[in-house]
Amino acid sequence: MRKIYVTEKSEKNIQMADESTIKFLLDYSKSLKIIEAEGIKFESNMN
């Protein structure tokens, strides 16, 4: 049973996001508006 549940730890490659990528995502999320009317959701980008 132990062999089934125990696995060796593998090295994980963690990459850091670039500052410009983070700024782009934050700006996009600030401009995105979701409006719901009569059960229908509308997405609008306020750019």
What is the distance between the alpha carbons of residues 33 and 44, in angstroms, rounded to a whole number?
Answer: 5
Q: Mean of the per-residue pLDDT values for the chain?
A: 81
Residue 28, pLDDT score: 87
User: Residue range 10-37: average pLDDT?
Assistant: 86
User: Residue range 5-26: average pLDDT?
Assistant: 79
Model confidence at 1: pLDDT above 60: no
Spatial contact of 18 and 24, defined as CB atoms under 8 Å apart: no
Residue 36, pLDDT score: 92
Query: Which run of H or E residues covers position 28?
Result: helix 19-31
**Which has more confidence, 11 or 24?**
24
Nearest CA to 29 out of 21, 37, 19 is that of 21
